Amino acid sequence: MRIFTSLEKSFPRGVNPFSNFVNLPQSCKMDPRFSKYMFLESTGSQENKFGWIEVICGSMFSGKTEELIRRLKRAQFAKQKVEIFKPSMDVRYNQDKVVSHDANEIMSTPVPAAANIPILADGCEVVGIDEAQFFDAEIVRVCNDLANKGVRVIVAGLDMDFKGNPFGPMPNLMATAEYVTKVHAICTRTGNLAQYSYRKSSNDDIVLLGEVDEYEPLCRAAFYKAMRQEAIKSNDMSNNNPAEFDPLTDE
C-alpha cells in the first residue's frame, strides 16, 4: 500500500495513476514508474536475470484461460520465445491447443506430469501453464526453478474445487508467485460476482472435466444455499439437524 501511495503522490495533482489508462495524460502513460505497475512485462530484473511467476486464478467461466492467452499472445507479438503447456488429460476442446470457453485459442504442448516441462521449456523466455490445478505438487518447484533461471512463468488454474476447498498445488503456487490475479465469473442465480464452481452432477470425483452441463459459477450466498439443499437431500442428513448443519464445515 505504501508503494501505491508514493506512486500516486508523484503524479500531477488530480491524476490517479490507477484509474482508466485511456484517460491518463500522455506524460503519465510514458512514465516508467506507472508502466512498472500497469504492465507485468517490465518488472523483471535485467541485472540479476531473474524471472517471476504470475498466477491467474478463479472459478469456472471466470476468464482465466482467456487472460492467460492474452498475456501469452502479447509476448509472442513481441517476438519472445514462448512455450505453453497443459495437462495431457485436458482434451475438452483440442488435444494440442489451450482453448478458452469463448473459443480463443493458442497452440500448446500436452504433458503428463510437471517434470516434463523443464526439458521442453529450455531456452524459453515465457512459459504458460493452463489448468495448473491438475498437475502434481512438482509443478511448484518447476515454476520456481524456471523463474530463478530468468523465465517469466504465467500460470492459470482453479483455486477451489467443486466443494469450495483449495485445489491441488494452486495455494502453494499463489503463495510463491510475485503476482496473483483473481478473476470472477457472474453468478448464474444472483448476478453477483462468483468465485465458486458448483457441480450440478452427482459425480463426487475431485477431478471431473466439464462444461456448463456439469458446472455453474455461484457467489458465496448461492453456493452455500445450493450446498445446504444438496446436503439436506442426501442420506447423510439422517444423523444431523438440518437447521444446524453447515455443509462447508461439517462432515
Residue 105: other Cβ atoms inside 10 A: 15
**3-state SS assignment for residue 215:** strand
For this structure, is 131 an active site residue? yes
* C-alpha distance from residue 145 to each of 15, 80, 114, 189 (Å): 40, 19, 12, 42
In degrees, rounded to 5, the angle at the alpha carbon of residue 130 between the alpha carbons of residues 158 and 189 is 35
Determine contact, residues 222/190, Cβ cutoff 8 Å: yes
Strands 52-58 and 152-158: parallel
Pairing between β-strand 52-58 and β-strand 109-111 as defined by DSSP bridges: unpaired
To which residue does cell 488435444 refer?
A: 95
The CA distance from 94 to 160, in Å, is 24
Q: Residue type at 221? A: A
Cα 50 to the center of its chain, rounded Å: 22
Which member of 131, 178, 214, 251 is catalytic? 131
**Neighbouring C-beta atoms of residue 234, cutoff 10 Å:** 12
CA nearest neighbour of 168 among 156, 176, 177, 159: 159
Give the residue numbers marked as catalytic: 131
